[in-house]
Amino acid sequence: MSTNHLSWFTRAAKWASRAAGRPSTFIAALAIILLWAITGPLFHFSDTWQLVINTGTTIITFLMVFLIQNTQNRDTDALQIKLDELLRAVDAAKNTMIDLEELDDEELEAIREDYLKLARKARTKVKRGKDGVAIEVEDRDGKPQTVKKKSGGK
């Protein structure tokens, strides 16, 4: 998709999030703070001098909250779509797992409990021996097979 089709806010948010994460932006922010601190004696550390930095940082923080949330929402949506596509494309995957993020907390917790039980069951099939780890797995037909892995980094 071309960036020309994006809304002005999305383009601005993407630009701002990229710019905010650059080292040069950090250095510029640090330079502004140092300049402000150096000018303290010149302004006799007045209330106005303090108000300048307080107001500036408050405004920037307020705006960045929305930009960060927008970027995070977009990234999460893109990731969910990619995961949904993987679930759809893999034959053994359960298509009922697509769009889980739309369920309420109780439904998600019930599904999570089912998968925790599966994980516990799978871990009980792991057998450790002197030569490494032997893992009992099921093949596509549901028949148990043992896979051995050598322990150690050699």
Which domain, by its residues, includes 19?
A: 3-102
Sorted by sequence, the CB contacts under 8 Å of residue 74 that are 6+ apart come out as 10, 13
Task: State how far the Cα of 59 lies from the Cα of 153, in Å rounded to an integer.
Answer: 53
144-150 sheet: strands from edge to edge: 126-129, 132-138, 144-150
Residues 41 and 58 in one domain: yes
pLDDT in the model for residue 97: 85
Q: Which of 65-69, 77-81, 126-130 has the lowest mean pLDDT?
A: 126-130
**pLDDT tops 70 at residue 154:** no
Residues 27 and 93 in one domain: yes
**pLDDT tops 70 at residue 66:** yes
Residues 118 and 81 in one domain: no
Residues 84 and 116 in one domain: no
Residues 14 and 58 in one domain: yes
- How many other CB atoms sit within 10 Å of the CB of residue 56? 13
Residue pair 114/96 in contact (Cβ under 8 Å)? The answer is no
Domain count for the chain? 2
